[in-house]
Amino acid sequence: MPELESAPDGDFSVNGNPVDATGHDGRPLVEFLRDVLNLTGTKIGCGNGECGACTVLVDGAAMCSCIVTAGSMRGSDVMTVEGLASDGRLTALQESFMRNGALQCGFCTPGMLMSATELLLRNPNPTRQEIVHFMNGNVCRCTGYAQIVEAIEEAARHG
Ligand code: FES
Ligand code: FES
């Protein structure tokens, strides 16, 4: 993981690391993540809250990082796709995406993974319908969604 800009007390945390957002209060969070912290896993699609490519977890809840400012994150714990794997090991969900071919260009994948991570935290055994409903805000231009839903189902089965 890239080294993060850090402050002794930090304005908020990103993937467990304190960050200083001084001077960036009004910037969209996704720009702060990508341009200041160099965490480029989070993508910018529409920039408008409509595609989910920029999804991160804020205190465990999936959120579009293009429509919130860095300054509004004070006191929060932000997790990006870079924060999922630990000690070089992918999560079961990430492994399942790979096994099921749940990506083509991969542009939507970080956002998909973050939304699905929240879903499985809240509901470890979602039905297919619950998965489709929960993932409704994440758009994929490539896969047709079937493999994405299957990957999430399989990750839930093998938890
Ligand atoms: S880039 Fe944020 S929702 Fe599309
Ligand atoms: S894999 Fe290309 S947009 Fe989803």
Residue from 141, 147, 149, 152 whose mutation best tests the ligand 2 pocket (most atoms within 8 A of CB): 141
| Atom 3, ligand 1: residue with shortest CA distance | 49
Residue 10 has a pLDDT of: 72
82 alpha carbon to ligand 2 midpoint, in Å? 18
Residue nearest to atom 2 of ligand 2 (CA): 105
* Partners of residue 14 on adjacent β-strands: 17, 78
- pLDDT band at residue 5 under the 50/70/90 scheme: very low
List the structure tokens of 6: 């850090």
Domain ranges of the chain: 12-83, 92-158
Largest CA distance in the chain: 45
- Answer yes or no: is pLDDT of 8 > 70: no
Residue 25: the pLDDT is 94
d(CA 56, CA 68): 11
CA of 143 to the centre of ligand 2 (A): 6
Q: How many Å lie between the centroid of ligand 1 and the Cα of residue 7?
A: 28
pLDDT tens-digit series, residues 99-150? 999 999 999 999 999 999 999 999 999 999 999 999 999 999 998 899 999 9
Residues 6+ apart with CB under 8 A from 136: none
Is 126 touching ligand 1 by the criterion CB < 6 Å?
A: no
φ, ψ for residue 19 (rounded to 5)? -130, 150
Superfamily of 92-158 according to CATH: [2Fe-2S]-binding domain (1.10.150.120)
At residue 158 the predicted structure's pLDDT band, cuts being 50, 70 and 90, is confident
Position 9 scores a pLDDT of 62
Quick check: 3 pLDDT over 70? Answer: no
| Contact (Cβ atoms closer than 8 angstroms) between residue 30 and residue 71 | no
**Interval between CA 158 and ligand 1 midpoint (Å):** 30
| CATH number at 12-83 | 3.10.20.30
Residue 79 near residue 86 (C-beta atoms within 8 A): no
pLDDT by residue (tens digit) across 56-88? 999 999 999 999 999 999 999 999 999 999 999
pTM of the model: 0.93
